[in-house]
């Protein structure tokens, strides 16, 4: 059975929150992560531009031997995953809007959603909201500036907390009891959000569910999830720009989880996009 290599891409470092969950669930798989830091953020970009970038990254990941690709970016999922699935034979796993679990679990019938403009306008978000949140008050907020703070390594800064308070305050007035993180960058703000939010508010991070879906797809493909045919697994990181923040956050994840990534390597300034 051939080596199992999972490709992951995001507009930047946000997809590391998904990689973290994947490593916990499938620790012996090999991973290739691509951060499009040169073109980050994706939120303000139009669908055609995101499709172009996602296609270029997909071509790169397939050339590197990836047999499945996780689109670890809510905006790219919204804009490009239908196109990618229609034009490539490898399976894709995207970021599902976490409105459903929040809406079903809400007792106050009021939830907050923090996401990018592209995610809110996407088909998946619209369909999920229409199907599961008809009787729920949803407080929408575009998280302008948040992705940039994570990319700058400032997720726990005073600047970040000030901006988060600005975005969260109107939601608190609407009595939300769940806050949905609609961007893979946003889980880096969980420590700050935990300080800001009242204890009764549940933070909904979709990354664990995406990792479980990836494992399910691999099982359906009859791909190994616990070995690499006797070969040692690896985690490779590529970036269209600098790898400085990528390297820093990878080290932080290793410290937080107490697990060192196997055979990790970094390569930046992949200028093919």
The torsion angle over the Cα atoms of residues 168, 16, 101 and 40, rounded to 10 degrees, is: 60
Q: Which of 40, 66, 139, 183 is catalytic?
A: 183
Question: Contact at 8 Å (CB) between 212 and 11?
Answer: no
Question: Is 227 part of the annotated catalytic residue set?
Answer: no
Given 40, 66, 73, 139, the catalytic residue: 73
Round to whole Å and give the CA distance between 46 and 51.
9
Closest CA to 141 of 189, 93, 108, 107: 189
Q: How many CB atoms lie within 10 A of CB 257?
A: 12
Annotate 11-72 with three-state secondary structure.
CCCCCHHHHHHHHHHCCCCEEEEEECHHHCCCCCCCHHHHHHHHHHHHHHHHHCCCCEEEEC
What per-residue string of b and e applies to 233-248 under the rule 16 or more CB within 10 Å gives b?
Answer: bbbbbbbbbebebbbe
How far, rounded to the nearest angstrom, does the alpha carbon of residue 198 sit from its chain's CA centroid?
Answer: 25
DSSP state of 246: H
Bond prior to 41 in cis (omega within 30° of 0):
yes
Catalytic residue at 139?
Answer: no
Q: Which amino acids are annotated catalytic?
A: 73, 183
């Amino acid at each position: 059975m051939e080596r199992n290599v999972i490709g992951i891409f995001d507009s930047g470092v946000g997809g590391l929150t998904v990689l973290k969950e994947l490593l916990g669930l499938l620790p012996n798989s090999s991973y290739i992560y691509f951060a499009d830091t040169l073109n980050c953020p994706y939120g303000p970009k139009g669908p055609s531009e995101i499709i172009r970038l996602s296609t270029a990254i997909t071509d790169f990941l397939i050339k590197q031997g990836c047999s499945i690709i996780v689109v670890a970016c809510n905006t790219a999922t919204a804009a490009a995953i239908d196109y990618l699935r229609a034009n490539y034979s490898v399976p894709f796993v995207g970021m599902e809007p976490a409105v459903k679990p929040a809406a079903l679990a809400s007792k106050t019938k009021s939830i907050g959603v923090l996401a990018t403009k592209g995610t809110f306008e996407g088909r998946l978000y619209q369909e999920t909201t229409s199907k599961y949140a008809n009787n729920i008050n949803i407080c929408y907020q575009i998280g302008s500036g948040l992705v940039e703070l994570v990319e700058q390594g400032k997720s726990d800064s005073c600047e970040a907390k000030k901006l988060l308070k600005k975005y969260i305050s109107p939601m608190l007035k609407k009595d939300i009891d769940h806050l949905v993180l609609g961007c893979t960058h946003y889980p880096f703000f969980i420590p700050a959000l935990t300080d800001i939010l009242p204890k009764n508010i549940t933070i909904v991070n979709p990354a664990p569910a995406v990792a479980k879906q990836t494992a399910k797809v691999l099982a359906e493909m009859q791909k190994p999830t616990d070995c690499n045919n006797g070969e040692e697994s690896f985690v490779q990181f590529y970036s269209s720009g600098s790898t400085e923040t990528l390297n820093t956050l990878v080290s932080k994840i290793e410290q937080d989880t107490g697990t060192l990534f196997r055979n990790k390597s970094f390569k930046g300034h992949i200028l093919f996009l």
